[in-house]
Copies of this chain bind each other. A is one copy, B any other.
Amino acid sequence: MSKVEIKTPFFVLNPKSYLYGEELLKLAKKADQLAENYPISIFVTAPYADLKTISDETNSVIITAQHIDGIEPGRGMGHVLPESVYHAGAKATFLNHAERPLTFAELTKSIERADELNMVTVVCADSIKEAKAIATLAPDIILCEPTELIGTGQTSDDSYIEKTNEAVKEVSETTLVMQAAGISTADDVYRTISLGADGTGCTSGIVKAEDPVQMLEDMVTAAVNANQ
């Protein structure tokens, strides 16, 4: 067993806790169809208890947990057991999101547990300084998202994207860099990938769109086009 291969550019459909059940499944199935038709890896995050259903009903997307705890099977009442989400179908996980920050010791341990299970790690940083520190842990993907821009509809500017790429790759050459601050339109996606991000993704731009399924398609095809 090894980790799932990531085709760049990649796109992350990250509905956070906005969606669950049928509505989430519908969007995940659309993502699955797009992943079959385009040369792009699509990650789909889901609340823990939705992972199994999404996994059962899709084939081509990379099912992704929103977080895992760095615990071994044992006590850990109320914590997120890596083995449980993995067996439910998650082949990747976010870590250290601004809404679920981790201490150094926790993040180090969580990445180790993900590596043991061959889960792709998407680790969040909210400044270039933090991205550099996290790069020493060699995660698969670093998401650089200045906290102050989350949900504002403002994207990172060109120099920020370039600087983050450099800072990360200098420390960990194989780590991919995701840029997703303020992505709210297909144009934002196109621009971000064109500027050199290995991947991007979206939350509110999709779940709050008039037609989320259409917006998802527009963004994914924009990512594909930006790469040509």
Contact = CB atoms under 8 A, between A and B. Distances in A.
A210 B22 CA distance: 41
Interface stretch (A77-85, A157-165, A183-191, A218-226): A77-85
Q: Which of A50, A71, A99, A135 has the most CB of B within 10 A?
A: A50
Interface in A114-156: 125-127, 129-130, 132-137, 147, 151
Interface in A89-128: 90, 94, 96-108, 125-127
B73 A67 contact: no
A20 B21 CA distance: 22
A48 to B, nearest CB: 3
Given A17-B71, A134-B133, A99 B84 contact: no
Contact of A100 (B48, B66, B78): B78
A75 B20 CA distance: 12
A76 interface: yes
A105 B98 contact: yes
Contacts of A16: 74-77
Copies of the protein in its oligomer: 4
B78 A94 contact: yes
A19 to B, nearest CB: 7
B74 A100 contact: no
Contacts of A49: 48-49, 51-52, 65, 80-81, 84-85, 87-88, 90
Contacts of A147: 105
Given A87-B49, A88-B49, A108-B129, A18 B103 contact: no
Contact of A130 (B47, B66, B105): B105
Contacts of A79: 17, 66, 99-100
A104 B96 contact: yes
List the 7 closest A-B pairs by CB distance, nearest first: A78-B100, A67-B78, A48-B48, A47-B84, A17-B76, A49-B88, A101-B103
